[in-house]
Amino acid sequence: RHIDEMLLWDVNNGIARRSWARNEGAIAAIKREMERTPLLRVTLPNIADDSVIGEAFK
């Protein structure tokens, strides 16, 4: 039981880290897993438009 639980959280930690790096596939995967696993909560990244970022750093 403990190994099953650890694998669930370990794999999802990896997916979450990739989603924070703005990987679109990982964002979709972690959203899907949060729907499937009610106790899983991951802060999702906010994707800003490149033009907004460019204007902020002028």
Span 1-58, pLDDT tens digits: 888 878 888 999 999 999 999 999 999 999 999 999 999 999 999 888 889 889 999 8
Tell me the two tokens of residue 26. 């990982």
Give the predicted TM-score (pTM) of the model: 0.76
Residue in 52, 53, 35 with CA at minimum distance from that of residue 44: 35
What are the residue boundaries of the structural domains of the chain, listed by start?
2-56
* Model pLDDT for residues 28-41, shown as the tens digit of each residue: 999 999 999 999 99
